Amino acid sequence: MTAPPHEARPPRAGRALPDTQQGMRRRNLARVMHAVSAEGSLSRAAVASRIGLTRAAVSTLVDELIRWGLLEELGPERPGRVGRPGSALAVSGRGPAGIGAEIGVDHLAVCAVDLRGEVRARAVRHGANRGRAPQVVIEELTALVSRVVAEAESAELWPAGLAVAVPGLVARDARTVVRAPNLDWHDTDLGSLLPGGWPLAVDNEANFGALAELWLGAGTPPDFLHVSAEIGIGAAVVVDGRLLRGTRGFAGELGHVPVRPDGPACACGGRGCLEQYAGEEAVLRAAGLEPREDLVDLLAERAEAGDERVRAALRDAGTALGIALTGAVNLLDPETVVLGGALAGLSPWLLPALEAELTGRTAGAACPVAVSGLGPQGPLLGAAHSVVRAVLDDPAVVAERS
């Protein structure tokens, strides 16, 4: 577990606030929100000492945040120490909520998360989406969103934004799906298909999964490499608490890192890419299984049961992952590598070979490998929380929106 930060500092948001007196005030509002959010309940004086402002300044900031409905006063604290007890502040359970959505290969999911970080509404629809037209899928997703939003509104929440996790490459405009091979989508502008009216952010599921790990994972450091696999293999690079997106938004394509330069040809144009060894198709073939919806469970079950062919397939996938990760670790020097998504569930059979490669190839300076506790829930939670974080990072936006 990482030591509690001496100061609850909001990670520098995507779009920095202007460097003016008003921008300073907005950043201080954010610092108050983050401090209270991190501790759950805090007095004004405690916030002041934590973020380095005076009690008087914090008082005016808190007044404003209460007026906007982002904080609420819980009443006097239980007096344990000497002196007048403070009045406990907490992040409001009403007000803005983050709507997260996930487009999986064989399911759709939507949830609403309040400012406290609690999931307040959910909706899921199972069924394969592969090859279906984006319009149809988005229509169904929109219906789920409507249901979740209605449920949230009945709990006095209002949607502050919609974030959609997609199994594919997303352009930096956070609207266009450039390529989602497992859905057969290409250059699809989700911005025009999804309901307008709220801020919208579309991103790779690996990215949202990594953010969930950063924000919700136990002891996840601000510098790590998050690897996830559904059908393709994606990774997300988090540096200093921020996602590394790349010029075109395509960073993290671990699946196409060359593992054996003379290996089998890949659809990407290369040879011997990681996906040729650790991708779903490759593992299925090596395990001698047919494609199914609940593939991960099946693989885990067979491996558990002692199916030697399945175990060998997973072992080989782990080896390939280890080779690719050796390159990534040498290049990025992350604090840890986190296995998420489907890899989390299969980690008992992947990890030994993976770690053998990784530590064997990096003598001494090995990078620890951890398994995500969020597993397949990561992307959806990360999406919803990304909206919540946007509000915490700049609480003043809600004032403009009323």
Binding site for DNA (CB under 7 A): 20-22, 24-25, 28, 43-46, 52-57, 59-63, 76, 79-87
Spatial contact of 34 and 9, defined as CB atoms under 8 Å apart: yes
Report the partner that residue 130 touches, choosing among DNA, a copy of itself, none (CB closer than 5 to 8 A by kind): none
> Which residues are paired to 352 by β-bridges?
none
User: In the complex with DNA, which residue's Cβ is closer, 76 or 246?
Assistant: 76
Report the partner that residue 57 touches, choosing among DNA, a copy of itself, none (CB closer than 5 to 8 A by kind): DNA
User: Would residue 156 be called left, alpha or beta, if left means φ above 0 and alpha means ψ between -120 and 50 degrees?
Assistant: left
Nearest distance, CB of residue 396 and DNA, angstroms: 9
* Matching residue, tokens 């990681």: 274
Nearest distance, CB of residue 70 and DNA, angstroms: 16
User: In the complex with a copy of itself, which residue's Cβ is closer, 57 or 143?
Assistant: 57
User: In the complex with DNA, which residue's Cβ is closer, 41 or 135?
Assistant: 41
Report the partner that residue 335 touches, choosing among DNA, a copy of itself, none (CB closer than 5 to 8 A by kind): a copy of itself
Report the partner that residue 315 touches, choosing among DNA, a copy of itself, none (CB closer than 5 to 8 A by kind): none
* Matching residue, tokens 């500092």: 9
35 membership: H or E segment, kind and range: helix 21-39
Nearest distance, CB of residue 246 and a copy of itself, angstroms: 3
User: In the complex with a copy of itself, which residue's Cβ is closer, 272 or 341?
Assistant: 272
Contacts to a copy of itself by CB under 8 A: 19-21, 24, 27-28, 221, 223, 235, 237, 239, 244-261, 268-271, 323-324, 326-328, 330-335, 360-365
- Tallying the residues shown for the chain, one arrives at 402
Report the partner that residue 126 touches, choosing among DNA, a copy of itself, none (CB closer than 5 to 8 A by kind): none
Q: Vertex 31, ends 26 and 33: CA angle to 5°?
A: 95
d(CA 30, CA 34): 6
For residue 145, how many other CB atoms are within 10 A of its CB?
24
- Judge residue 152's burial from the number of C-beta atoms within 10 Å of its C-beta, 0-12 exposed, 13-18 middle, 19 or more buried: buried
d(CA 46, CA 55): 9
Nearest distance, CB of residue 384 and a copy of itself, angstroms: 26
Report the partner that residue 43 touches, choosing among DNA, a copy of itself, none (CB closer than 5 to 8 A by kind): DNA
User: In the complex with DNA, which residue's Cβ is closer, 43 or 188?
Assistant: 43
* Matching residue, tokens 């003043």: 396
Q: Minimal CA–CA distance to 357: which of 320, 328, 394? A: 320
Nearest distance, CB of residue 394 and DNA, angstroms: 13
Nearest distance, CB of residue 44 and DNA, angstroms: 3
Report the partner that residue 270 touches, choosing among DNA, a copy of itself, none (CB closer than 5 to 8 A by kind): a copy of itself
Report the partner that residue 44 touches, choosing among DNA, a copy of itself, none (CB closer than 5 to 8 A by kind): DNA
Helices (H), ranges, 72-230: 134-153, 205-216
Token couple for 83: 């002196």
Nearest distance, CB of residue 134 and DNA, angstroms: 43
Dihedral (CA of 236, 239, 243, 246) sign? negative
Cα of 258 vs its chain's centroid, Å: 26
Burial 355-371 (b: 16+ CB within 10 A, else e): bebbbeeeeeeebebbb
User: In the complex with a copy of itself, which residue's Cβ is closer, 127 or 360?
Assistant: 360
Nearest distance, CB of residue 63 and DNA, angstroms: 7
Token couple for 204: 């790779």
User: In the complex with DNA, which residue's Cβ is closer, 78 or 261?
Assistant: 78
User: In the complex with a copy of itself, which residue's Cβ is closer, 257 or 300?
Assistant: 257
